[in-house]
Structure 1
Amino acid sequence: MATEHKNDDGLRRQNRSNRTIAVACLSFFVCMIGVAYASVPLYRIFCEYTGYAGTTQRTEQYSDTILDRTINVRFDANTANGLPWDFSPMQREVTIRIGETTLVKYQAKNAFDQPSYGRASFNVSPGRAGAYFNKVECFCFTDTTLQAGESMEMPVVFFVDPEIVNDPDLKDVKTITLSYTFFPIEKPQPVAGAGAQGNGS
């Protein structure tokens, strides 16, 4: 009998230990998922603030200084699998003065026979140049809908910060490449109340 009680006690302790380990593992797994989801927007904010990983800067002001030195800016366009769009820059390259505000356009066309939906992300190379590439207007991170066969022009207004010439790692850079990639997204949800307004008209 004593042996049986010892065995039962041992089994109970083992079961409690297993449950504790299982709960700890589950808690760790849930925490890691939370960190993963939180890290995406935090990483994006960090990149936009610092220019890390080729992320450009957003600004509402034009440069008040334009240098005599010029730089080439190339434009690249990509479309992820699952989005039937023809997407390309309307100009492949421009030569501008550093600090000069410039307008270029991309164009997207839905080659599918139904509406489709996309959102663009971007980066700049060399990556360090992202800290000096300032966009005043752009279509990135905006949900875009194209009807069947529809085409759309998408403007980008930007300038290269004159401070780039004071960066020892970029002093010899002659060309910067701005690259956009469109990804498919789910159909955007209608704005609340839009249907009611339409019925009342």
Structure 2
Amino acid sequence: ITVRFDSTVGDVLPWSFVPTQLDVKVVPGETALSFFTATNHSDKAITGVATYNVHPPKVGLYFNKIQCFCFEEQRLLPGETVDMPVFFFIDPDIMDDPQLRNVRSVTLSYTFFQ
């Protein structure tokens, strides 16, 4: 399954936020690690929080994040750039779901807000 990554930033947050890779191939049941890079373009320390979405939505039942920057707030100092990990796997039971067994592409989207 190809997991594609998407990222956006809320209007008032002066950050850039991008995936370090556009996609990764994942075998259900095996873990995968990917990173997103965030930069604070302001002259103040700012705390942001990320929300996420999985598409198609039903895949969310099988998409498991083990470690994710979205689990807690992220504080970036003025001008600071950080790489933030997401460590995940897709439950192999997805292959037994008649509605999803033929899914070959999943999108994991994050939006950062202040």
> Could you tell me the TM-score, scaled by structure 2's length?
0.96
Q: Which runs of 4+ in 1 moved over 6 A?
A: none
> Which amino acid counterpart does residue 96 of structure 2 have in structure 1?
N
Whose RCO is larger (CA < 8 A, sep 6+)?
A: 2
Partner of 2:69: 139
How far apart, in 2, do the equivalents of 1:141 and 1:155 lie? 11
> Which amino acid counterpart does residue 118 of structure 1 have in structure 2?
G
Structure 1, unaligned stretches of length 5 or more?
Answer: 1-70, 185-201
How far apart, in 1, do the equivalents of 2:15 and 2:65 lie? 24
1:80 matched to 2:6? The reply is no
> Which amino acid counterpart does residue 94 of structure 1 have in structure 2?
V
Partner of 1:96: 26
How far apart, in 2, do the equivalents of 1:122 and 1:145 lie? 18
- Which of 52, 61, 75 is the equivalent residue of 1:122? 52
- Which of 89, 111, 114 is the equivalent residue of 1:181? 111
How far apart, in 1, do the equivalents of 2:73 and 2:27 lie? 32
1:155 matched to 2:85? The reply is yes
CA contact (8 A) 1:122 1:181 kept: yes
Deviation at residue 98 of structure 1 after TM alignment:
1.4
Structure 2, unaligned stretches of length 5 or more?
Answer: none
Q: What RMSD, in angstroms, separates the aligned Cα atoms of the two structures?
A: 0.9
Deviation at residue 144 of structure 1 after TM alignment:
1.3
Deviates more, 1:141-150 or 1:86-95: 141-150
Identify the structure with the greater helix proportion.
Answer: 1
1:109 matched to 2:47? The reply is no
Residues matched between the structures, number: 114
Could you give the per-residue CA deviations for residues 9-35 of structure 1, whole angstroms, max 9, x where no partner exists? xxxxxxxxxxxxxxxxxxxxxxxxxxx
Identify the structure with the greater strand proportion.
Answer: 2
How far apart, in 1, do the equivalents of 2:103 and 2:26 lie? 14
SS at match of 2:69: coil
Deviation at residue 141 of structure 1 after TM alignment:
4.1
